[in-house]
Each structure stands twice: as C-alpha cells, then as structure tokens.
C-alpha cells in the first residue's frame, strides 16, 4: 500500500482527488488529508509517506514556503504541487523550491494524476539513490568522509550557538594491514563491514558514525562532554572485540580497535582542531598497547 499525504485547505478538492484515485489503472494507495499548513508539515516530517500532493494556497501561507521548511528539516518525500494557477512563474518557483512535478487543478484527470505520482515516486527513488552514493561509503553503508566533514561543521555551529559540548571519537582497527596480508582483501572487507555494524550499534540515534579512512571511523556525539564521550568510545571498541568477526566460509577472526576522544570546547576551538586532538589521542592509544580509548585530556602537555 502506497501512502499518500494530501495537504489542501479545501475539503472539496480532497474529495475530487479521492475520486481520481478510484479511477487509477493500477496500484494500491492509502490517502491521508491535512487541511492546515502546520498539521500538514508535521505529518510530512514523520517520513511516513511515499509521496505528497501539496496545494499552493494554504491560508495565509503557501505551499512553496512549506516545501522549503520541510527541506530545511531534512524531508525527502517526493512532492507534487497542485495549484489553481497556470502561471509559468508558479511552475518555476515550485520546481526551484523542490517539487518534483506540477499540476493545474482544473486540468487534472485520473490518468494525468496517476502518471504524475508514478513519475514522482520513480524520480524520488533515483534522487535518494544518488544522495546515498554522494553521502555514503559504498562498502559499509556509513557516512563517507565528505558527509562527515559537512556534518561536523554543522554540529560545530550548533554547539557554539546553543552552548552545548560536542564530542568526537576517532576509531582505528588494530593491525588491520595484517588482516589483508594474511587473509586477503575480501576478508578485510568483511571485517570492515562487521566493525562498522558494531560501532553503529553502540551510539544513540542522534549521533553520527562515518568511515573516514581505510580502517578508520569517526563518531560525532552531540551534546556530549568528555567523560560521556569516553564512555561511548569504550562501549564501541568493546563491541568490536566482543566476538570474533565472521570472514565467510565458516571462518572468523578476533579483532580489536583503538580510539581517541576529544570534545568542543574543552579540548579544541574549531572542528579542524577537534579532529587533530582526537587523532593525537588515538595515536596515544596505539602507543599504549592498542585496544583502548584515550581521552584528549590525558595527552595534553603538562609543561
């Protein structure tokens, strides 16, 4: 069942849309209706809909504003714009705001609406796949280095604005080169995927985990001070070492990892400094025997 959200302040228009859906040639759809800007936006941001039909006029505000606000809040639901106006400028504004298609109410037929929905769903899937390629590491499915840098910069700004601490943990698999040399690169890839899965399972849903290098991972921990970030790091490397990692063909391998921990503003003033300080703590963990997490405050010069 494909869930569709209709945001329109005109009940009669919603009834007309319902009637069109009954005449679709194929596909099973479930329609929900919101008649106000606020209610419609709240529903859209739940992420529970495959596509949205959005009216241009919504009381004192309009659908263009709603599209922009939804996008700012991370909404990726495909939107088909509905309007009583046939102005080309409205068409262009809708597309620039993020709508995937545009229909004039007085010209809509069941076939036209069905085609538009199929188009929006297909294009939405394609755009989501492209976004994933641009932001995700292909092997592990974690965020890639580019997306990590972007998110860290965003969280740095947010931490400064609200006066919250920001934690960073950098994790490196111990002696990973030996895994590839002894067992081969397919086994190394299996270890990376398993370690990524275990690390991701050790953090909160509001935090972020990325693969930032060959066998190196990073955790962005929002509103997290030094002691709390250290706890997360210890939990993550504990999860990595808890059980042997499966290599395939019934084989498995014991793996450990080391971690460096740093926070803003206690250990650094900028995101770049935060990475450097966490990296320094990671090297300290390696020097102290590996399979441990070292916080930045243990690596500060005492002179």
> Strand 51-55's sheet: what is its strand order?
29-34, 2-7, 51-55, 79-83, 101-104
Q: Are residues 182 and 282 in the same domain?
A: yes
Q: Are residues 153 and 122 in the same domain?
A: no
Residue 251 sits at the vertex; the CA angle it makes with 246 and 254, to the nearest 5 degrees, is 60
Q: Quote the tokens at residue 211.
A: 């693969």
The total number of structural domains that make up the chain: 2
Q: Show Cβ contacts of residue 293 under 8 Å, excluding neighbours closer than 6 positions.
A: 169, 230, 233, 234, 237, 258, 259, 260, 261, 285
Helices 11-22, 110-135: axis angle to 10 degrees equals: 90
State residue 86's pLDDT score: 66
Q: Are residues 173 and 122 in the same domain?
A: no
Is residue 140 in a domain?
Answer: no
Q: What is the pLDDT along the chain (303 residues), one digit of tens a residue?
A: 899 999 999 899 899 999 999 888 877 889 999 999 999 999 999 989 999 999 988 878 888 899 999 988 888 899 999 887 766 677 788 888 888 888 888 889 999 999 999 998 898 888 877 777 888 999 999 999 999 999 999 999 999 999 999 999 999 999 999 999 999 999 999 999 999 999 999 999 999 999 999 999 999 999 999 999 999 999 999 999 999 999 887 889 999 999 999 999 999 999 999 999 999 999 999 999 999 999 999 998 754
Is residue 123 in a domain?
Answer: yes
Q: How far apart are CA 39 and CA 23, in angstroms?
A: 28
> Domain containing 36: what range?
2-135
DSSP state of 163: T
Cβ-contact 261, 233 below 8 angstroms: yes
Phi, psi (rounded to 5 degrees) for 122: -65, -45
């Amino acid at each position: 069942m494909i869930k569709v959200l209709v945001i329109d302040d005109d009940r009669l228009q919603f009834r007309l849309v319902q009637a069109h859906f009954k005449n679709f040639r194929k596909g099973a759809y479930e329609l929900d209706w919101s008649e106000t800007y606020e209610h419609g936006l709240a529903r859209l941001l739940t992420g529970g809909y495959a596509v949205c039909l959005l009216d241009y006029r919504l009381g004192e505000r309009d659908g263009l504003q709603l599209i922009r606000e939804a996008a700012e809040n991370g909404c990726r639901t495909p939107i088909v714009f509905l309007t009583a106006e046939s102005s080309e400028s409205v068409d262009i504004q809708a597309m620039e705001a993020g709508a995937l298609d545009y229909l004039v109410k007085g010209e809509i037929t069941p076939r036209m609406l069905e085609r538009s929905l199929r188009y929006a769903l297909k294009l939405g899937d394609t755009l989501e796949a492209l976004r994933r390629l641009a932001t995700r590491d292909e092997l592990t499915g974690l965020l890639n280095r580019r997306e990590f840098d972007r998110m860290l910069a965003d969280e740095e700004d947010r931490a400064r604005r609200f006066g919250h601490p920001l934690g960073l943990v950098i994790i490196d698999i111990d002696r990973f080169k030996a895994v590839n040399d002894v067992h081969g690169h397919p086994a190394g890839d299996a270890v990376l995927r398993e370690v990524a899965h275990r690390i991701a399972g050790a953090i909160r849903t509001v935090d972020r985990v990325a693969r930032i290098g060959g066998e190196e991972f990073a955790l962005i921990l929002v509103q997290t001070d030094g002691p709390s970030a250290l706890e997360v790091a210890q939990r993550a490397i504990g999860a990595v070492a808890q059980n042997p990692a499966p290599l395939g063909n019934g084989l498995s391998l014991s793996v450990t990892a080391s971690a460096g921990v740093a926070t803003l503003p206690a250990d650094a003033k900028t995101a770049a400094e935060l990475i450097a300080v966490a990296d320094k703590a990671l090297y300290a963990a390696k020097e102290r025997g590996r399979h441990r997490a070292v916080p930045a405050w243990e690596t500060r010069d005492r002179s």
